[in-house]
Structures are given as C-alpha cells and as structure tokens.
Chain A
Amino acid sequence: MGQLGTYLLLFGLAVSGYGLLAAAVGAKTGRPALVESARRCAFGLFAIVAAANATMLAALLTNDFAIRYVAGNSAQETPAFFKALSLWAADYGSLLLWNLILAGYIAAVALRFRRDRPPTFPYALGVLFAVQAFYLILINGPAHPFASLANPPADGRGPAPLLQNHPLMAVHPPFLYLGFSGFTVPFAFGIAALLAGQGSDQWVSVIRRWTLVVWCFLTLGLLLGALWSYSVLGWGGYWAWDPVENVALLPWLMATAFLHSVMLQERRGMARLWNIALVIGAFALTTFGTFLTRGNVLSSVHAFAHTPVGPAYLAFLALVLLAGFGLVAWRLPELRTPSSLTSAISREGAFVANNVLLLAATAFILLGTTFPLVAEAVSGQQITVGGPYFRSSVTPVFLLILLLAGTAPLLPWRATNRSRALHRLRVPATAAALVMIATAWAGVHQVGAVAGFGLAALVFVTSGQEILSGLAIGRHGMRGSAMRALARGRRRHAGLIVHMGLALVAAGIIASSSLGQQSQVTLKTGQSTVFAGQVLRYQGLHTDRQPQRIVLTTAVSVTSPSGGSAGTLDPRMNLYPASTAPIGSPSIHRGIVWDLYASVISLQDNGDSATFRFYRNPGVNWLWFGGLVMALGGAAAAWPGRRRRNSGDDKSAGQARTRPAVEAGAR
C-alpha cells in the first residue's frame, strides 16, 4: 500500500508540474487550448491527491504497520474513528490533507471559471499549480508519509493521547487548513494581476469573494481550535497565546484588514497597492505560520528528528516574499492611486483607521511570537513571551477596534453630512453608557472590562439599528418585502451581522477573562466544598478499562444552596500506554451566562481523595455563538447574489454580480 501511495504522490507532482507549465506558456503565448488543458489538469490532480489520501486512510484502518507513519500514529486497539483521524494527527499525514485541500481549491477555481474568465485567470492558475507543486515536492521528498519500516512492528504506537481524547479533532484541523491553504487563491489572483499588469480593478472583486470564503473557514477553524482547547485541555481557558495559535490569528487579522480596505478600492479607486500588499501579506503570514509550526523551529515535545523540511519551508517563504513584494515594487508606478482622503472623519478615514489598528495588532502579535527566535539569534538567550505581553499590548488595540466598529458604519462616504451620523449615534451611545453604568453598578471595577462591555454594546446596537433601518427603508419604499430589502443591501447587512457577532465575541472574551473565578481543592470521598454559590460533593471514583486506555472517572454532585440538585460533574483522567502523564478530561456544565468547569488534577489513596480545579467561566458561550454569527455573516457576504442582471460584456463575473449590491448597500 505504501508503494501505491508513493506512486500516486509522484504522479500528482508530475501533473501539477505540467499544469504549471501549460498555464504559464498558455498565458505568455495567449494560447487558449493550453490554458484549457491546464484547467482540466486541476480536476485530475484533485483525483490523484484524493486517491493518495484514501490510500493512507486504508493503511490506517487496516493496521498496515509496514508504513512508518501508520506504526507511529495508530495502534491495533485504536478505535476506528480515531484511526481515521490519525490521517491528520501528525505532521506528515496532515501534509497529505493539506495537499488535498489545496488541490480542492484549485479544482474549485477551475470549475468556477469554466466559461467566463478574467484575463488574469491563466496566470492565477499557474501560481496555484506552483504552490501545489511546492507542497507535493515536500511530501514526495523530505516529508514522505508513505516511508516504510524494514522491520514492521506487531503493533503501533497509537495516536498522541491528547489527539485521541476528543472528537473535535475531527473538524478543527480540516477547517483550519481550509482557512490556511485557501489564502493561496487570493494570493494567486493578486500575483496574476501584477504579472498581467492590469490597470483595471477587475481582479479585486474576484479576490474579495475568495478571501471572504477563506476568512469564514479560518474563523471557524480558530473557533473550533479554541473550543477544543477549552473542552479537552482542562485548564479552563481557550486561548493561551501559544505560537501555534498566534500564527493562525495573524493571517486572519490581515485578511480582515483587506476585507475592509478593499471597499476603498471598489468605491473610490483608492488603496490599490495597499490591498494587493495585504493579500500577499496574508499568504506570506500563512506560509510563515507553516514554517514556524512545521519547520522544527519551535521546540516542542518530541519533535521529529532533524529533517530538511524546515529549510524547504524557509526557502518557499523567501520566494513568496521576494516574488510577491518584488512584483509590487515593480508595478508600483501603475498601482499608485490618485485619490486621497478628503476628510479624516468619513467612511474612508474609518477604513484607514481600521487597517492601522488591525495591522498594529498583527505587528504586536508577530513581534511577540518571533521575539524569542530573534532574541536567541542575537544574544543566545532562551526566553519566552507569555500572555501578559500579548494581553497588555493587544487589549487597547482591540478596544479601539470595537469603538471603530461601533461608530464607523454610521459615517458617510466623503463626509458630507456628519450631523446625521451623530444623530444616528444617539441610541447606540446611550445603550453603551447604560451598559457601562450597569456593569460598574454590578461590582465590576476593572476599567478595561467596563469600557469593553460598553463598547461591545455600542457595536451590537449600532449594527442592529442599521440593519433594522435597512429593513424599514425596504418597507416604506414599497419596493418589496423586508427580506428583499435585506437582500438588496446584502453586503452591508452581512457586514453588520459580522459586527454583531464580533460584539458577542468581545463580550464573551471580556467576561471570561476578567470575571472568572477558580479554586483548587482536595476532597475526600463524601466531602464537599462551596464554590461559586454551589455545593460540590466528591462522590467517588469509577475505573473503566477500555482496550486502548484506562479511564478514571470521578463523580462530583452539584447542588444549589437551597438543596436542589443541579446534576453531576464527571471530570476524568485517562491513562494511555504510550504516555507517562495521565491525560485529563474536564467536565463542563455549559450555561447561557456562565459555565461550571471541573478538572481533576490528581488522585490519592486509590481515589479516596482527589484534587480538583473548579472554574466559573462567564460568557464563554457568547464567544462560541458570536464566532458562529461572524462566520455566518461572512458566508452571507460571500454568497453569490442573484444571477447577473447585466450579463454580457463584463469579463469579470464576480464584479458583475457584486456591483448591484455595492450600490444598494452604500448610502
């Protein structure tokens, strides 16, 4: 089976090489037949990479321990579900999935532009094949997942215990990869625009649409990662400012900046150069993130022996930066835009401020993430940059972003009528003030938290008010129902929905990080403690021997002071043969306002006594819900509109579709 996989991957590399060549020559010589054959290659490539993934899946499910990856990441006793997940539970296997997703994106691009194509399409296709070729070279050479073992062991090592502890592992990595590798598409169209030297703005709506799709996936990927961390790791939190988390957030921030500044270009023809730099920057950040997490740069537990993977990623990163920003520099004369800001307090000014803030956050996080590397390079000292740095540097920036999101949608373009904006700010500002007073009244004394809740309310109410007034205009204008009105201003309304989600996320983050409580107690069987107004009683330990692990489940009954039972918490400890340290599983009572969260830290005297950590985490569910709202809003913005009204001469289909929405959405 290993041989089959090996040949498939080689074949895939050859096909992507041909696609790259055909697209490049076709673009240069203007031969449509070559471009068409490159386009069809995309489907073949997808099928081949899918077959390679299926081969690995079959090897995992049939315990083919002759393949080193299978022996290292699966075992006979591993449940079939987690055997399948092992496909992406370790570095080399996840590269297989990465390649599959990238090939899927290329096939989607090929399908989307099967008939009407922007003139940049052949170049973009070439860039896409080039990126895929890099990842296929990697997986054919230094990171070969189908490498075999001379003496196959009778049983495998099994997946890393943490990764076989929760089904969320099934969805978090695929969504994150969909977000990460998806940035290749906007990047490819950006590079294509630079290569083709187009003076027009046609590329921008194509890129905007794809970036929105990718942004939604990355939002969900980040969200699921946080949810996994919260539900599995048992430390009561969801975000630890770990380098691997940070590098996933960086391209998200930059893509968010692009999705705002792109409106400057669509509406006013401004910021062309800036936008293309953001697209290239977002892709460069994903490449940098891949290098940092997979290139053996960060020390992590049992990193694989030294492989040439790190230098390969670094060379690719250098190529992306050189080609991307080199092309920007080359095309600078054509990309310079004539318009400038007429007024700082206008929609344009707000978008500029939005970009400054989002990039400031990006810069702070990038600095903190790479500082240990730089410090070690310069002074040889090993240091770590932890949560306090990130919290103190990024919190003010995020609060300002909230202030902007709560006011900017009211500002007019070009700033002709500012008094109207002030008038429309009355309700949201009052709501924000009331929320601030109420939170201070309720005993919250941290200034940051009070301000944060107020700003979140500002964003929420502003966005809601604007959506409602959009509906009202639809009704009174007698141009159809409210839904039609919503749909007509779809882009604007979708953006406002994202802002409402953001407000919920912000409120959740502020609540959980500033108002949480925790306590660590050791209880004997039958003993109880009072935590957060609840009586928690340790009822004892139950041992369950499963084929692949031993599960020690504790039972903690929860009763309210009045005596009513509120259920049982059952935090567990799992002992896996391949690990000395037990892996804990927290138990969570999720609620609308707050979660009761319990982890078992240690067991003594055969379970007669246990040490628990209890958390009361307010607002965590607002975070999950708000994140989902953000992703749905993004999807609504990216959703293809009604069929083109003015089909025909416009070469860029995406542009033709979004135009009516732009006009309806902007006031």
Chain B
Amino acid sequence: MSGRVTRRRARLLAGVVAVVAVIVVLLMTGLGKDPSVIASPLVGRAAPNFTLPQLDGPPVTLAKLRGQIVVINFWASWCTECQVEQAALDQAWRRFRDSGVVVIGVDFEDSAGAARGYVRTDGVTYPVVADAGSKTALAYGLRGVPETFVVNSSGRIVNHVIGPVGGAALTSVINSMLTGAQ
C-alpha cells in the first residue's frame, strides 16, 4: 500500500472520528438534563388549599400550616415508583420536622386497607391523608403518581417533581429554603 493511500486513510478516519465525536457530545448534553424536571406552570402560584382526613388521625388543612415548609407527596399503594422514593421522604421528615417542615402523603385512587398496609410495611412515619374523589389531585393538575410539590412558608409552590424524588435533591431544596434563599 503506498504512502499516499495510507495518508488518505488516516485523514478519512480522523474525519469519521471527528464527526462522531461532535454527534456524541451533542447527544450527551441531552442526557445531562433530567426529563422529570419540567417547568411546571404551578411553580410560583399559591398552593391549592385542602382539608383531608388522615388515614389514622384528625383531618389536615393545608392553610393551617402557613408559616411552615410543606412537602406534599401524591402516592398510592399500587405505585411501585412510590416505594422507590419512600425512604427519601421519610428521611426528610425525620430530619427536618423540628425545623418547621411538614411532609404530607396524599393517597391517590386507593383503598384505605391497602394504604394502611403500605404505611405499616414500608414504615411511613409522616402524616398520610386520603384524597377520596381525587379533588385535590385534580386541583394540583396531577398527571399520575408519584408527584411531589414543595410549598414555602407563605403558601406558594416552589418546586414540583414528577416521578420519584431523590433524597439529596429534596434535602438541598429544603435546606436552601430554610436558609432563606427562597
């Protein structure tokens, strides 16, 4: 094989590598973003109020929690993705409950028996309310479960996650709110 052919091959190969590299870099930026974080139209608005009965306890009214940070998590016992995020929510509740943070689980399209079973076996310690008739879910424009809304002390939604929340992400949101960033 002559030197010219070898040089030509090298140039062509370098060209292929360069083009593929550009494609890969462009597509990688697509991977970098998290498709579950969407610009929710609800962020910045007042959280719709609700009064819902707890599974085992007195009813909870959102408006009465004004002044505290409220994490509202829509879930169901039949939802496997909810099991994934359950530990993160419980951790946040135990860690921040004394700093004025409330975690509320809103049970969506579920039977009371199945929900109680889930709370017991999965060790849910934060208050759980039942949304019979899904009125609250509709008010929040729920697309499915799990979805989580974080409401600040003046009652506005500051964060909305579709799909399971991550422990680190939730902690950082709450921390930044507690330190007065929001």
By a beta-carbon cutoff of 8 Å, the part of chain A in contact with chain B is 68, 71-72, 75, 149, 151, 153-158, 291, 295-306, 310-311, 314, 317-318, 321-322, 325-326, 328-330, 332-333, 370, 373-374, 376-377, 382, 577-581
Q: In the complex, what distance in Å separates the CA atom of A157 from the CA atom of B81? A: 10
Q: How many of chain B's residues touch chain A, expressed as a range?
A: 35 or more
Q: Are A321 and B23 touching (Cβ within 8 A)? A: yes
A330/B78 in contact, CB under 8 A: no
Which residues of B are found within 8 Å of A299, using beta-carbon distances? Answer: 35, 38
Interface contact B79-A580, CB-CB below 8 Å: no
Q: Is A579 in contact with B78, judged by CB distance below 8 angstroms?
A: no
Within 8 A of A (CB), among B104-159: 109, 114, 117-118, 121-122, 134, 137-138, 142-144
Pick 23 A–B contacts, CB within 8 A, sort by A. A71-B80, A75-B78, A151-B122, A153-B80, A153-B83, A154-B117, A301-B144, A302-B163, A303-B35, A305-B81, A317-B23, A321-B16, A322-B17, A322-B20, A326-B16, A326-B17, A370-B26, A373-B29, A373-B30, A376-B33, A577-B109, A578-B78, A580-B134
B83 & A314 in contact (Cβ 8 Å cutoff): no
Partner of B164, one of A157, A305, A579: A305
Instruction: Please give the residue numbers on chain B whose beta carbons come within 8 Å of chain A beta carbons, in ascending order.
Output: 5, 8-9, 12-13, 15-17, 19-20, 23-24, 26-31, 33-36, 38-39, 76-81, 83-84, 109, 114, 117-118, 121-122, 134, 137-138, 142-144, 162-164, 166
Contact, CB under 8 Å: A332 / B12 = yes
Contact assessment for A330 and B9 in the assembled complex, using a CB-CB cutoff below 8 Å: yes
Given A153-B77, A321-B23, A329-B13, verify A302-B30 contact (CB < 8 Å): no
Would you call A153 and B78 a contact (CB within 8 A)?
Answer: yes
User: Which residues of A lie under 8 Å from residue B162 when comparing CB positions?
Assistant: 301-302
Min CB gap B110→A, angstroms: 8
B residues in contact with A301, CB < 8 Å: 143-144, 162
Do A311 and B31 contact each other (CB < 8 Å), given the known contacts A301-B143, A303-B36? yes
Given A305-B163, A579-B144, check contact A151 B121 (CB 8 Å): yes
Interchain CB contact (< 8 A) of A296 among B5, B29, B31, B39: B31
Contacting pair A305 B78 (CB below 8 A)? no
Q: How far is the CA of A376 from the CA of B164 in the complex (A)?
A: 24
**A300 in contact with B144 (CB, 8 Å):** no
Minimum Cβ distance to chain A for residue B114 (Å) = 6
**Interface of B, helix, strand, loop or mixed by DSSP:** helix
- Give complex CA distance A578, B109 in Å: 7
A326 touches B13 (CB 8 A): yes
Contact A314 B144 (CB under 8 A): no
- Asked if B29 and A580 make an inter-chain contact with CB atoms under 8 angstroms apart, the answer reads no
The 10 closest A-B pairs by CB, nearest first: A329-B12, A377-B29, A299-B35, A72-B80, A297-B30, A373-B30, A321-B20, A310-B31, A325-B16, A157-B78
Question: A361 CA to B15 CA in the complex, in Å?
Answer: 24
Q: Is the interface of A mostly helix, strand, loop or mixed?
A: loop
B77 touches A306 (CB 8 A): no
In the complex, the answer to whether B81 meets A318 with C-beta atoms within 8 Å is no
Distance, CA A577 to CA B5, complexed state (A):
67
Give Cα A374–Cα B26 distance, bound, in whole angstroms.
Answer: 6
* Contact across chains for B35 and A300 when beta carbons are under 8 A apart: yes
CA distance A301 to B144 in the complex (A): 9
Contacts of A577 in B (CB 8 A): 109
CA distance A299 to B163 in the complex (A): 12
Known: A68-B80, A153-B77, A154-B117. A305 touches B9 (CB 8 A): no
Query: Once bound together, how far apart are the Cα atoms of A342 and B72, in whole Å?
Result: 73
With both chains docked as a complex, state the minimum distance between the C-beta of B117 and any C-beta of chain A, in angstroms: 7
Contact across chains for A373 and B26 when beta carbons are under 8 A apart: yes
| Chain B residues within 8 Å of A68, by CB | 80
**Of B16, B30, B78, B84, which contacts A156 at CB under 8 A?**
B78
Contact residue among B78, B137, B163 (Cβ-Cβ distance under 8 Å from A580): B137
- B81 contacts across to A, CB distance below 8 A: 72, 302, 304-305
Residues of A within 8 A of B16 (CB): 321-322, 325-326, 328-329
Q: Which residues of A contact B26 (CB under 8 A)?
A: 370, 373-374, 377
In the complex formed, the residue of A with least CB distance to B123 is: A151
How many whole Å from A74's CB to the nearest CB in chain B? 11
A314 to B32, CA, bound (A): 12
With contacts A329-B15, A330-B12, A376-B33 known, what are 8 further pairs, Cβ within 8 A? Answer: A157-B80, A303-B35, A303-B36, A325-B20, A326-B16, A329-B12, A330-B13, A373-B26
Whether B31 and A314, one on each chain, are in contact in the complex, defined by CB atoms closer than 8 angstroms, is yes
Neighbouring B residues of A328 by C-beta, 8 Å:
16
User: In the assembled complex, which residues on chain A have CB atoms less than 8 Å from the CB atom of B27?
Assistant: 291, 297, 314, 317, 373
